Structure 1
Amino acid sequence: LASPSNLDLTVEINRGRDSGVSPGMPVVTGAGLVGRVMDVSRTRATVLLVSNPTSSVGVRLAATGEVGVASGRGARSPLQVDNVDPAAKVTPDEPVVTSGLQQSIYPPGIPVGRVRTAKVPPEAVQQEVTVEPIVDLRRLTFVKVLQWSARP
């Protein structure tokens, strides 16, 4: 695994097309989600980390089953989860996993993180939820690329 680049928003791995890697494939560690393959050459690939502001991941709150979309906010910031029903009971430290809903880039059930904060502003149409990524994206050593493609 090469060192992080673009202010820790992507990483380069030493596997590419010759190893069966293609754009869009999920990348994980034993702990959980790292991101997805963005670009591929014959022997290398660039991985877009979940912390990247251009990254979005369909997620499910494990305790409530509520679904939302987690977006990156930078290398040292929690993920922001949008589209969570304001009536849902979201609790700090609640596990968050990939939803795997139709056309998802990611298979269901991959750990993403734990709820850091959840609040409902007055008259809000969604909760303000932040999630601490489960994987320390600044200390990646080994990752695994999953042979997964989105379901239609």
Structure 2
Amino acid sequence: MPVVTGEGLIGKVVEVGENRSVVALLSSGTFRVGFSVVGTAAIGIAQGTGSDGSLRGSNIDSRQAVTVGAIAATSGLAGSPFPPNLPIGTITAVRTNEAALESTVDISMFANLNDLVYADVVLWKPAG
């Protein structure tokens, strides 16, 4: 289940106990989430870099216009554990490999993981 703050996605519940839950943070190097670039047809996979607040997005069709300052949000594609349009962050860099027809981006998370007080669990079940 997705975990969010008022700023956006911060992670997902990976373990549930009687009185607690364990959350994998979006910034973790093992965390992956499908994303879309708001206002475009661009989609990709974002992965945590292991440092707070930073993600790397890959597998983006380089023919899609992606610009610095654009907003990344969950794509919610079929089978995704996340609903569509949960805010993730802002695109801070775009690198294009024309030979591979692929772009990669850096994403700065909206949520500050070093200043969390409250978080909400989104009770959402993927279709299917």
Is the contact between residue 42 and residue 65 of structure 2 (CA under 8 Å) also seen in structure 1? no
Residue identity in the other structure for 1:39? E
Gaps of 5+ in 1: 1-24
Q: 1:106 aligns with which of 73, 77, 82?
A: 82
TM-score (norm 1): 0.80
Seq. identity, %: 34
Matches within 5 A, 1:26-45: 26-45=2-21
SS at match of 2:24: strand
> What residue ranges of structure 2 are gaps of 5+ in the alignment?
none
Letter in 2 for 1:117: A
Q: Are 2:60 and 1:75 equivalent residues in the alignment?
A: no
Q: CA RMSD in A?
A: 1.2
Higher-Rg member (1/2): 1
Structure 1 residues 57-95: Cα deviation after superposition (integer angstroms, max 9, x where no partner)? 110100212111110111236211111011111111101
Moved more, 49-58 or 69-78: 69-78
User: Greater RCO between the two (CA within 8 Å, min separation 6)?
Assistant: 2
Aligned amino acid, residue 93 of structure 2: T
- 2:44 touches 2:60 (CA, 8 Å); kept in 1? yes
Moved beyond 3 Å, runs of 4+: none
- Structural mapping, 1:3-152, within 5 Å: 25-76=1-52, 78-152=54-128
Counterpart of 2:19 in structure 1: which amino acid? T
TM-score, length basis structure 2: 0.94
What is the count of residue pairs matched by the alignment?
128
Structure (1 or 2) with the greater strand fraction: 2
Q: How far has the Cα of 1:122 moved from its partner?
A: 4.5
